[in-house]
């Protein structure tokens, strides 16, 4: 068999497996949607006077947006079969640089033009930091072939160390005008939620409608077959980590706007929470399967649970314990259901 025939065979095999993943994912999305509806209904019945208010819905949207963007960032790298543990450190470093630029360029009572220029430069600098951090992590994984979990654990500590050295360990503050990014509203819709939806749509299009997206799924499904089919695995890997870095920087900008402050220790627990939401959203930890819709549904379910348990147990000292218990229980239940569903489907096919 010729090289061309081999390539075509590999391509057809990978595309078939990708189509299979997409079909299987539809069932998982239905289960996630059902879980969201059940959780929403139960909490609405338990606390209708507080849970079903517009103010509560807006509050949940503000809280979920930054972790949602970080989850999409880590999802992109998980699709390749890797992972990016440096998302929070990248977000923190980006936010620190943006905050320092704002405070140095925009003193109190600055003109509107100075404020606008400072905001543009701060955001551009944060995004550049995201690109550099993502590219460096991707280079370690793709070119030096380091295990992703170890490489990004190392870069996470590296970026955190850089942030500490730059700030001296103290908190960096933003400016009042930047708070709209994290706390503003457009027609009653939280601006961070709008950013999350824009990020979700763009990422979804990249993953489903571009050559890079298809190659990323193929790489995560079978790296060897992807390489023989003509895919540049290294380039795809590096690009996936660059995307993760850029999304992390966007989350860092939102955090800076919401809190008007940033330090290297902010959001330390977000990494594990992002991984939890991604896996709950049916992103395969081994790569090749997952989509933005599943992640968003998992994010909504987790936010409902978090807010609901805070409302139900606000007088109890064990509120955080029960909240984390519910997160873990929901993840285990979904994994068990998916396991038996996949097993039944495999038996039906065979």
**Segments forming the whole domain that contains residue 107:** 3-341
Checking if the pLDDT of 52 tops 70, the result is yes
In CATH, what number is assigned to the domain containing residue 115? 1.10.3470
Q: Does the pLDDT at position 22 exceed 50?
A: no
**Percent of the chain with pLDDT strictly greater than 70:** 88
pLDDT at 1: 45
> Where do we find the tokens 């606390």?
47
> Looking at 12-21, 135-144, 292-301, which range is the least confident one?
12-21
Task: Look at residue 109 in the predicted model and tell me its pLDDT.
Answer: 85
pLDDT in tens, 97-119: 999 999 999 998 899 999 999 99
Q: Is residue 346 part of a domain?
A: no
pLDDT in tens, 231-277: 999 999 999 999 999 999 999 999 999 999 999 988 888 998 999 99
> Where is pLDDT greater, at 169 or 315?
169
347 in a domain, yes or no? no
Residue 260 lies in a domain: yes
In a domain, 350, yes or no: no
Q: Determine, yes or no, domain membership for 43.
A: yes
Residue 26: predicted pLDDT: 62
pLDDT for 309 equals: 79
The DSSP symbol for 181 reads H
d(CA 344, CA 203): 32
> Rounded to whole angstroms, how far apart are CA atoms 335 and 201?
26
58 found inside a domain? yes
- CA distances, 95 to each of 125, 127, 254, 262, 265 (Å): 9, 10, 8, 6, 12
**Would residue 349 count as lying in a domain?**
no
Residue keyed to tokens 């100075």: 114
Q: What sections of the chain are H helices per DSSP?
A: 3-46, 48-51, 54-79, 87-105, 112-142, 148-167, 179-183, 191-209, 211-221, 223-228, 233-259, 270-280, 292-312, 319-349
Q: Is residue 262 part of a domain?
A: yes
d(CA 338, CA 289): 13
Q: How many domains does the chain divide into?
A: 1
């Amino acid at each position: 068999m010729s090289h061309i025939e081999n390539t075509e065979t590999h391509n057809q095999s990978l595309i078939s497996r990708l189509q299979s993943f997409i079909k299987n994912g539809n069932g998982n999305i239905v289960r996630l949607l059902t879980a969201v509806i059940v959780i929403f209904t139960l909490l609405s019945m338990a606390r209708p006077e507080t849970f079903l208010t517009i103010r509560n819905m807006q509050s949940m949207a503000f809280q979920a947006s930054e972790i949602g963007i970080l989850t999409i960032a880590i999802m992109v790298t998980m699709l390749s079969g890797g992972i990016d543990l440096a998302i929070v450190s990248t977000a923190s470093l980006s936010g620190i640089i943006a905050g320092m630029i704002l405070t140095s360029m925009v003193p109190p009572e600055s003109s509107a033009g100075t404020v606008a220029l400072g905001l543009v430069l701060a955001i551009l600098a944060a995004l550049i930091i995201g690109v550099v951090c993502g590219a460096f992590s991707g280079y370690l994984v793709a070119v030096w072939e380091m295990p992703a979990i170890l490489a990004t654990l190392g870069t996470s500590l590296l970026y955190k160390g850089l942030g500490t050295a730059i700030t001296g360990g103290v908190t960096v503050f933003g400016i009042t005008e930047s708070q709209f990014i994290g706390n503003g509203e457009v027609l009653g819709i939280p601006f961070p939620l709008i950013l999350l939806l824009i990020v979700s749509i763009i990422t979804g299009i990249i993953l489903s409608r571009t050559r890079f997206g298809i190659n990323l799924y193929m790489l995560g499904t079978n790296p060897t077959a992807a390489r023989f089919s003509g895919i540049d695995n290294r380039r795809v890997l590096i690009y996936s980590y660059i995307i993760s870095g850029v999304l992390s920087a966007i989350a860092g900008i939102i955090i800076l706007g919401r809190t008007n402050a940033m330090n290297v220790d902010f959001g330390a627990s977000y990494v594990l929470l992002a991984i939890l939401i991604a896996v709950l959203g049916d992103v395969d930890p081994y790569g090749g399967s997952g989509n933005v819709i599943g992640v968003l549904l998992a994010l909504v379910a987790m936010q409902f649970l978090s807010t609901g348990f805070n409302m139900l147990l606000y007088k109890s000292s064990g509120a955080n314990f029960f909240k984390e218990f519910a997160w873990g229980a929901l993840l285990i239940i979904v994994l068990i259901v998916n396991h038996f569903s996949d097993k039944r489907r495999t038996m039906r096919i065979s």
